[in-house]
């Protein structure tokens, strides 16, 4: 029998039970199961439509055995995206992308109407109200008041005190960001970072914080973490890849207001400069930084003013209706 998880939206007083796809992607389901309970902020798709999702405070590198086309998936489908922030995705309406999504499970039939209601609230929130919609994910039958697990990474034996201390501090900030928007994100999006933004405006800075934090977390740090877990590259080569790709993001993000992100980056680069990190220590540090950056990106995504896009409706009839091909 497949395991069941509970999805709760305390801001709405709603919850739904879902069954994991243990028979299709067991290792992936194990990764989620072992990380529960956890909290996050609910976001909504701004392109695919019909899906809401949250960045989870965990990293999965599990092999994926089964996917299905998103535009052919049933309402209530649970998906998981490792490469775009480690997102848990809940489909609450038809979706319109002909790409394959990793199957994590599905909401039980009795609770489909619940996720439809939550989905509408999530879409309203992301485009219009910006009213925060939090989610708690736990195992069915567990104490609902249980504290969420602290994000964790694989720690090597005999890890140096310097690495241990840095990883602990990064993960503590990652945990804080599962519960509330980091103050630095808020300052950047409300124009309270002095001197950045041409012509006295701060929208351009806001856009850069969103797009750069997204690309740093999804398309830079996670691939490096993935290489640590799935290749036999030596630590000095991995460090070289890191130093070639990461500083271009964190330097400017710090200038635009995300100073904590930049400080963690500086500490990591200082460790690399010593040429003393073991491969396992490097992996541990990068995994922790990826977890933290995912949460930063989740908040940048949530508060980005997607509602501006409602001025760009398609009026031509031939572009209004999606047809799967």
Phi, psi of 301 (to 5 degrees): -65, -45
Q: Which residues contact 149 (CB under 8 A, 6 or more apart)?
A: 35, 36, 37, 38
Helix-strand-coil split of the chain, %, nearest 5: 50, 15, 35
Give the separation between CA 216 and CA 294, rounded to whole angstroms. 9
Classify 46 as helix, strand or coil: coil
Q: Which helix (H) or strand (E) holds 107?
A: strand 100-107
Q: What 3-state DSSP class applies to 208?
A: helix
Which residues are registered as beta bridge partners of 105? Answer: 20, 78
Non-local (6+) Cβ contacts of 72 within 8 A are 324
pLDDT over threshold 80, residue 183 = yes
Percent of the chain whose predicted confidence (pLDDT) is above 70: 98
Domain map (residue ranges) of the chain? 4-148, 161-306
Predicted TM-score (pTM) of the model is: 0.94
> What tokens were used for 70?
């998103």
Q: Is 48 helix (H, G, I), strand (E, B) or coil?
A: coil
Nearby residues of 52 by Cβ (< 8 Å), 6 or more positions away: 42, 43, 44, 45, 89, 90, 92, 118, 119, 122, 123
Domain 4-148 classified CATH 3.90.70.10? Answer: no
pLDDT of residue 319: 66
Q: What is the pLDDT of residues 105-154, one digit of tens each?
A: 999 999 999 999 999 999 999 999 999 999 999 999 998 788 999 999 99
Chain segment 294-315, per-residue pLDDT in tens: 999 999 999 999 999 877 776 6
CB-CB contact of 27 with 64 (8 Å): no
Contacts of 281 (CB under 8 A, 6+ apart): 156, 159, 160, 163
Residue 229, token pair as written in the block? 């877990």
**pLDDT (tens digit per residue) in 14-59:** 999 999 999 999 999 999 999 999 999 999 999 888 999 999 999 9
pLDDT in tens, 68-118: 999 999 999 999 999 999 999 999 999 989 999 999 999 999 999 999 999
């Amino acid at each position: 029998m497949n395991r069941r998880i509970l999805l709760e939206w305390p801001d709405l007083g709603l919850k739904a039970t879902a069954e994991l796809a243990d028979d299709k992607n067991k290792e992936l389901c194990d990764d989620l199961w072992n990380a529960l309970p956890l909290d996050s902020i609910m976001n909504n798709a701004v392109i695919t439509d019909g899906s809401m999702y949250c960045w989870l405070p965990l990293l999965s590198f599990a092999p994926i055995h089964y996917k299905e086309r998103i535009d052919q998936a049933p309402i209530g489908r649970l998906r998981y995206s490792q490469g775009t922030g480690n997102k848990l995705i809940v489909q609450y309406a038809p979706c319109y992308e002909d790409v394959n999504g990793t199957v994590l499970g599905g909401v039980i039939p009795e609770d489909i109407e619940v996720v439809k209601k939550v989905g509408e609230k999530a879409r309203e929130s992301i485009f219009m109200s910006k009213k925060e919609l939090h989610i708690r994910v736990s195992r069915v039958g567990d104490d609902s008041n249980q504290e969420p697990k602290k994000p964790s990474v694989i720690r090597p034996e005999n890890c140096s005190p310097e690495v241990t201390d840095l990883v602990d501090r990064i993960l503590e900030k990652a945990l804080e960001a599962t519960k509330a928007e980091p103050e630095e994100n808020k300052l950047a999006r409300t124009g309270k970072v002095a001197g950045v933004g041409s012509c006295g405006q701060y929208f351009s800075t806001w856009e850069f914080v969103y797009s750069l934090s997204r690309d740093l977390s999804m398309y830079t740090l996670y691939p490096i973490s993935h290489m640590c877990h799935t290749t036999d590259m030596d630590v000095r080569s991995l460090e070289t890849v890191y130093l070639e790709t990461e500083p271009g993001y964190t330097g400017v993000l710090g200038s635009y207001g995300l100073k904590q992100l930049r400080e963690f980056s500086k500490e990591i680069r200082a460790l690399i400069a010593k040429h003393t990190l073991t491969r396992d220590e490097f992996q541990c540090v990068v995994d922790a930084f990826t977890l933290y950056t995912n949460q930063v990106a989740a908040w940048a995504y949530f508060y980005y003013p997607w509602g501006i896009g409602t001025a760009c409706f398609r009026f031509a009839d031939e572009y209004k209706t999606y047809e799967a091909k």
